[in-house]
Every structure is written in structure tokens, then in C-alpha cells.
Chains A and B, each alone.
Chain A
């Protein structure tokens, strides 16, 4: 017998897509979580929000584990008498392994631990990438952290004004397009910056994301202050026989991604050559040619003919900075900063770069100012100065159209100090 009547949520149990309501209900009925009433009361308070059309969660309080300033988000509901099972309902962010592969042993251990210390509800995963344990009380936080670190050799992720839990695509583990080892880079950078991740010292949040190629499956260009996007500098490797097989219809284009609809026979001219944004490809009926020097690595031809074309062999990543969501000055994507960097252990070049950026941002950034906003406020030129990088036309879509250049005195012959009296000797008042 359900504890609360939930007529509106019940309507979300029908339909083909998995129902989170049914799932929470099965946890309420079958689960052995220590906070026994949490799933029922979560449904109850959610139903109340469905009636009232507003949330019933309050601003988070300051809760956490000793020595950490992040990883746990305090959460309280505003109807504790009615829903005591979720009166205190704090979130715990657990740092996910690179690319979110799991053994069932480890997943079961996590489930057992959460059954012992919380609501039995999770997010797999949160928006930034963490395993989210959804809802527990303050008294469970220290014991959970102790068990997590001692029994599972597993740490918390980030929250607040610190480095947020880095994330990566699946990279070389199962993708032929990966231009560097995103998993290893993500893991090592996460471990290198544990202090930044757990103890807030920044003006606001900072995110790393590692995409293996310009397809951008982990959304780094939109969602991370530092986006590391795999790219190559040399030639796309062509298997001419396989190209012919695509043209001849023996291989399905785009790895079969359009297979549910009849788009007609594959037309390499129309679907590849003419869609190439730089026009750097040609097909003469028997041979595909690519002028690699003009290629911008958009991935379309590789995505369309993955068995015929492979990424080059001189691989690394482009580094971009400054993406963020709209709060506060408007949404931004990352701007290209380093066109190419080898991304190899021990990742020193990347670390050196990010530390310069952090030093500047921590010095100059205002409270809750993301890096992308600081760069806009102080100029790209200033950003080049602190990163000690040379200007490169690849950093812009086009040169400036206004001529208001902030020349520096040392750039101008003779400097800026002049004598008005010398001027007057030649020019009357």
C-alpha cells in the first residue's frame, strides 16, 4: 500500500519509455535502504510539486565531510512534517571512472554501500559525469565517506567553486576516431588536481572535458572551461578499395546510421565531396583524393565512410578555453587557444598551461565569474599574455573589423613621451 496518493505521477507509469516513477516505486516496495521511507516520500513531495507547479526543495545548507569543501550538496525539503523521509536529503557526488565502464562487482558494492547509508536512489550519472547518490541525512555523511575510501578505494567528486569532476568520451577504448587517450588524460588530470577538486579556491566552477575527436561526444566545446579535443595534423589514411565498395553499394554509408529510411543509392559526389566544407576532396570515378593541407578535420567524410578513411597518424589535441552556460553574461563556447598539443603522459605541457590560466583567473576573476567571462572582460590579448602564447589566425573566425587597437607604448617607435614645445616650434598655436 503506497504511503502517499500520487495520481499525477501514476500517469507517468504508462507509455513505452522507462518510468522513473515505477523504478522509485520498486525501490520503495522491495528495497532495503536504511532510509526506509525516502523513496515513498520522494514520490509524495514530487506529487505535491506536480499539484503546486513549483519545487519544494530549499536552498542547500553547508554540509560536507571534514577537510573537503565539495562533493556533497546539502538539500532540505520545505514540508518536513509531511515528508520526514526526505526532510534531509543531501546529494553525494562520487567521482566516476573514466568513460563510465563498470564491473558488476564494483556497481554492486556501490549499491550495497548506498543501501547502508542512504535512500537507495541515484543518478547514473549527473550532468557533469559523477555517480550521484541522491538523498541522505547528515549523520550518514562521515560514515559513508569512511567506507567509500576504506572499503572501495573510491573518492568524491567536485562541487562548488572548485574543479568539477572531469569527464571524457570513451576514446580509444572503443572508438577508431580517438586522437589521444582521453581516459588516461582524464584520470591523470583528475588525480593531479585532487586539491583543486576537493577544496574550493576558485572564483567559480571550472570544468575539464576530454573529447577524442572533433565529433565531440562529451560536449567539451560547450560544457567545459578547458576543452581538450583530439585532432591530427597529417593526412587522412585512405583505403581506395573500400571507397569503391561504398560507391558500389557493398558497404553501408555512415556505418549504417541512416538505415531505417530509403535515401536512395549512396552518391559519393553529393554526400561526401560536395558536403566537404573546404572543398578539398575529389572523386574521379575510381580514386578519392584529399588535399589534406586544406582539410579542417570536420569528420564528415570519416563518419560517412569509416571503413575507407582513417584519422592521420600525427595525433594530439586542440585546446580551447572558456565555455559556459548562460549564467551570467550569456552562453559561450570554448575558443581555440592551442591549435595542437601532443597529449601524452605525463601531460606536463597541459598541466603547465592550465596552471598559468588558474593563476590569472584566481588573481583577477570576480566572485562567480567564469573563465570565459574574464577573458571577455580583460581581452584575448591579455589571455595570450598570461598563457605566453603567440597570436594565431586560427584563434579567430576573422580579424577585427574595428580599428581601435590598444597599442602598447613599447610597440610604438620612440615611445609615447613627447615634448609639446618641440611640436610648437613647427606648429603655431
Chain B
């Protein structure tokens, strides 16, 4: 029975959860689950996993835009039908993986992937994203879909990935470099543990839509939303209930705007990019660590965000030349010292980079172990 708009709850099915993953596993994966012995990266973007049964699975990893049309998904299906018995998978970092069960199927698959380009010339399926290189950028919605962003997401990602494209298709860095983007401090992208994080920030306190705020918002919720207690009740000259923001206490987190649509803070000059570096998630050698703010603000520069791209390229280049094998960006910065990091990368160190929020003291230096 098709949907009946006059009786929307008829035959309703709810709470059935996702489809069971097992039906989507390619046979070679299903047959060898839990039996894998080891893997090798044969070339950038191409992995082989070997099972104790003797089976092998070859994976070709390609970068994708997470903002993707169904026409594009159908093209991926066509490729998977042609080469991969009708299966594929996506990775946590927006890559797509095409898997085949024998080595002779790898080259035809790769040739096919490499041959496909968009009309204006960009690659549809760039191969790479493995090992000691840059893999795809995880990111958020930006100006394509979100109400709180300080920056775009997809466009910045495109510009940055064009800038460091060679590192996606090679493995010549000291260790993996994970780049992430979140278009505001809400961080749907949770970029706070990335080697390089591109973060949208605001620098102007919220405006207040005095005529409408009491109709649109629960005023006490907006007041309570402020972590620095900068918002208090007020009255307009005409006697309407409204709010007032003590601007010098605002740290531009945008939490009030999340609670109240009548307090917009995005601005063409006020909003832009901050760069954080040195975070990691893996426990390998050193513990997981947070990314640190090393560039407090870069203006929005659509369409190609030139300064952001240049700064990231420079950080990657300096790191690539100076770090030791296996050393993640944050481990390198800690070994040489943050004073050296700023010297080598030629980035200015300003007071904006010294923490003055909740855990500030834990990041100040209590020692005379310093470099000159």
C-alpha cells in the first residue's frame, strides 16, 4: 500500500534501525571477517589485506566530496557493478573504497577511476588518502546549508585540497596528516584533535533584533546560554522586553544565537578562519592530544581562500622538511618547542594565542626550559 495522506499513521513502521550491515559486505569481506592477517599499501591509495584463508582483498581508495549528488552516486554504483561485484564502502573521512578480490582486477579499476573527470576538468575519483600523506578533509555544512557558520565548508575544502593535492596521492610526509574543517565553534565536525584544523570563528558580538526578540525567543534561555554571563535583560525605549550584551565579555562562541534566532552574529568582516594544529586521535607513540590555535584569524576570501590555503601549505611543507619519521605534527612541535614552531613556520605569535578560558593555566609554561 502506498502512503495515504488522509491517514498518515496507518500501517506505521517505526524504530526499525539501520539495515543490517552484513547484507552489504562483499563476499570476500564476509568470508574473511575476523580472519585478516596483515595489510600492505601497494601504492598510494591501494591496499591489500591478506586473510589466514589465503584470500586477498584489494582496496582502491578515492577522495570524494561529502556534498554529493545522486547522479554521482549512481556513477559510483556503475563502477562498482563493473569492477567490484556491486559493492563499495565509504570511510569515516568521506573517501570511497572500491574493493576487488584479485590483483588482476586492480589496474582496470584504477584506469577506469582515473579516466573519469567532471566537465570542467576536476577529477571525479582521485586515488590516494593512505599512509603518511594527507587524506580527505572531514567537514561540516558551511554556507551550503547551515545557519551558524562563520565560513563556508565545501569551498574551503576544495581550495585547500587543490593546494595540497600532491600530498593526497603520495606518502612522503613523516606521518599521516589529518585535516579537518568545522565552520563554527559548535564543531559538528569536532576538529579539536586534528593535525590541522580549519575552524570558522566570529569576532563581533551578536546584534539584537529588539522588536522581535521577545516574540522569537525564551529570553531566560538566551541569558543562561552565555558562558561568560555577558547577557542580561533590558527594555527598549518603547518598553519592549529585550536583552543587552556586555560586548567586552563576549568570546563569540555563538551559543546565544543557537538558543535565540534574534541574536545573529555572523558578519562579512567579523567572521573568518582560525587555524589549529598539532592534535591527534591515535594512541600511537604519544597520547591523543588537542589541536592548538596558531593562527587566530584569516578573513574570509571566497572563492579560493588564498591566505588559508597558503598558510596550510606552508605548515605542511615546514613539517615535512623538519619532522622525524613517524612524528605527527603535534609531536614535532612539542619536540622542537612551540617557540621554534612559530619561528620555522614564520607565523606571528600574538596574545590571542594564549589561553584565557577555563583550563588556561594548564597551558602556560611553569619552567625556565626555554629556547632563544
Q: Which residues of A contact B (CB under 8 A)?
A: 8-9, 11-27, 30-31, 33, 39, 42, 46, 49-50, 52-60, 66-68, 75, 89, 91, 95-108, 110-111, 114-115, 120-129, 134-135, 142-143, 146-147, 149-150, 152-155, 167, 169-170, 172-176, 178, 181, 183, 187, 190-191, 194-195, 198, 214-219, 221-223, 252, 254-261, 263, 271, 275, 277, 296-300, 303-304, 306-307, 310, 324-331, 333, 367-368
Contacts and interface: CB of A to CB of B under 8 A. Distances in A.
B81 interface: yes
A21 B126 CA distance: 16
Main secondary structure of the interface of B (DSSP, over half): loop
Nearest to B144: A46
Contact of B92 (A135, A167, A195, A327): A167
Contact of B158 (A15, A57, A58, A104): A15
A18 B126 contact: yes
Nearest to B9: A66
Contacts of B38: 176, 255, 306-307
A104 B170 CA distance: 29
B18 A154 contact: yes
Interface of B: 2-3, 5, 8-9, 11-21, 23-26, 29, 33-34, 36-44, 49, 57, 59, 63-74, 76-77, 80-81, 86-92, 94, 96, 118-126, 130-133, 138-149, 152, 154-155, 158-159, 161-162, 165, 168, 170-173, 176, 182, 185-190, 192-193, 221, 224-225, 227, 253, 255, 258, 261, 266-269, 271, 279, 281-286, 288, 290, 300, 302-304, 325-326, 357-359
B326 A12 contact: no
Contact of A198 (B15, B176, B269): B15
Contacts of B34: 172, 178, 181
A257 B131 contact: yes
Given A17-B126, A26-B69, A59 B326 contact: no
Contacts of A191: 17
Contacts of B19: 97, 106, 152-154
A15 B29 contact: no
Given A24-B67, A50-B302, A125-B90, 11 more contacts: A15-B162, A20-B65, A49-B143, A60-B147, A124-B90, A149-B16, A154-B19, A170-B89, A183-B21, A217-B92, A368-B225
A328 B252 CA distance: 11
A215 B284 contact: yes
A142 B192 contact: no
B43 A259 contact: yes
Given A31-B70, A125-B90, A175 B36 contact: yes
Given A123-B67, A257-B171, A153 B118 contact: no
Q: Which of B41, B133, B143, B357 has the most CB of A within 10 A?
A: B143
Nearest to B88: A102
A145 B228 CA distance: 42
A368 B253 CA distance: 14
Nearest to A57: B147
A105 B159 contact: no
Contacts of A18: 63-65, 118, 122-126, 158
A66 B21 CA distance: 27
Contacts of A329: 227, 358
Contact of A12 (B39, B140, B303): B303
